[in-house]
A and B are shown apart, each in its own frame.
Chain A
Amino acid sequence: MEEQIRSTLTKAVSEFLDLPEASIDCFAELADLGVDSLQAVQLLVLLERTYHIEISEEELKNFTSIDSIVARISKHPKMAVRA
Chain B
Amino acid sequence: MQSSAPSVSTAPVLDFEQIREIMVHRFPLLMLDRVTVLEKGARLVALKNITGNEIWFLGHFPKQAIMPGVLMIEAMAQAASLLDTLSREDAHPEAARFLGRVEAQFQRMIVPGDVMEIEVVMLKQISYAVITKSYVRVDGNIACSAELMLGSKAPDREK
Contact = CB atoms under 8 A, between A and B. Distances in A.
A37 B127 contact: no
A38 interface: yes
A37 B159 CA distance: 9
Interface of B, helix, strand, loop or mixed by DSSP: strand
Interface string B113-153: 00000000001101111010000000000000000010100
A51 B63 CA distance: 50
Interface of B: 100-101, 123-124, 126-129, 131, 149, 151, 159
A41 B149 contact: yes
Contacts of B123: 45
Interface residues of A, number: 8
Contact of B131 (A37, A45, A57): A45
Interface of A: 37-38, 41-42, 45, 48, 57, 60
Nearest to A37: B128
A15 to B, nearest CB: 12
